[in-house]
Each structure stands twice: as structure tokens, then as C-alpha cells.
Amino acid sequence: MTATLTLVSHHLCPYVQRASIALDEKGVRFERTNIDLKAKPDWFLKISPLGKVPLLQIPQEAGEAVLFESSVIAEYVEEAEGGPKLHPQNALERARHRGWMEFGSSILSDLWGFETAKDRNTYEEKRKAIAAKFATVEAALGAGPYFSGSAFSLVDAVFAPIFRYFDLFDTLADHQIFDGLDRVRAWRKALAERPSVKAAVSADYGDRLMVFLEEHDAYLLRAGQN
């Protein structure tokens, strides 16, 4: 495909990051348009059925096609573009990977509650839920460095943005979420070093995430003081 695709984005959205990583890993040229989710522009609302990012705008001869939902975008890129395969060739393994992608999304749901918790009880509830899910992930991992071994996959694209949150969270509190999870920690490190993962956010990501925590009066900002 010669036309440049456009990924409609938000600076902090982990779902945008997974789409960006997938595009990069496939070697697809694309541009990014960041929007303010607190003041969504009219043009965005007209083309986003759910009012959410990411969107992938795909030039066509008769206009433009728009895809929404990060998993749909990732699957389209995998099927429509060249480059390395990001899904296993075996149907059973491919289905298994899709299941773990959904599991990653469930962690993101808990992570939202963790980072926006305003009191200790909610914070602890979500912290324990996330730790338990990562313990489940630990049992599913092999020798690495990636989810299914030496080949980078869409499961890796899903989990890399999850791990990125903790680059800041680790500096704020001793949350102990990864304690005793050696394979998970090694996986996190390998993903952080991947060029596509580094390129999925802007240089001021950490500052923007800190502002988000402050705006939500996050207990996480006080957890290290208790």
C-alpha cells in the first residue's frame, strides 16, 4: 500500500499504542493525529461510532475507509500488509493468542481502577487483582524473550503499553505487583527495548501521565507515603 495511513490518537491511550506498535512492526507508513478526548472535534465524532480512539483512516479510490477498535485495526494490518507475521500460523495457537490479547484488555480495565483510585481500599483491591492476573501470565510464559518465544506477536503489542504505565508507577509506590514474577519481569524488559514500543508514545508521556494522576487525585500519588 503506497498511500499513507492515519492513526487518530490520544497521547496516553494504551489502545492507540498497540495499534501503533502493530503498524510499526509490519513496516507500514502512517501518520498520527492526536485529539483531545475532553473536547472531541466534530470531524472525529462523525467518523468514530463509539467516540473513542484509535481510528485508522485508510485512503481509498472512492474516498476513505475508517476502522475503529484497536484489535480490529491490528487484525487488519496483520492480514492486509506484508512484513513479519504477528499471529501464529496454526489456527489453535492463533486463537490462543487472541484469548491472551483479551486477557491483556482485562488487565487494562483493572489498571484504570488502580490509577484512578482515590482511597486505599480501592487501590488495594485493584492492586491485588492486577497482581493475580500477572501471576496467571507468569504461568503461561515460556523462555521468552517474547510471549511465544523469539517471535514478536500481537500479544506483545497488547502488553507493552500495560507495562509502560509502571515506568512511572514504580517511582511512586512499592506496589509489589511483579514480585516473584521473574518471567513477567524479563518480558517487560524485552518489550521496553523494542523500537516499535519506544516509538508508540511521545517523549513527554511520563509527564502527561503524572498530570493525569494529579487531575484524578490518585491515591497512587500518596501510596508511597503510607
Fold of 91-223: Glutathione S-transferase Yfyf (Class Pi); Chain A, domain 2 (1.20.1050)
CA atoms within 13 A on the CB side of 93: 10
For the question of residue 26 being annotated catalytic, the response is no
Largest alpha-carbon pair distance within the chain?
A: 60
Q: Report DSSP state, residue 200.
A: T
pLDDT for 226 equals 60
Fold of 5-80: Glutaredoxin (3.40.30)
Residues 6 or more apart whose CB falls under 8 angstroms from that of 153 comprise 86, 87, 88, 97, 146, 147
> Tell me: the pLDDT tens digits for 67-121?
999 999 999 999 999 999 999 999 999 999 999 999 999 999 999 999 999 999 9
Cell of 216: 484524578
For the chain, which residues make up each domain, given as ranges? 5-80, 91-223
Flag whether pLDDT at 151 surpasses 80: yes
Burial 74-96 (b: 16+ CB within 10 A, else e): bbbbbeebeeeebbbeeeeebee
Query: Which one of the listed residues 13, 21, 154, 160 is annotated catalytic?
Result: 13
SS3 138: helix
SS3 225: coil
Mean pLDDT of 28-48: 97
Cell of 139: 504461568
Tell me the one-letter amino acid at 213: L
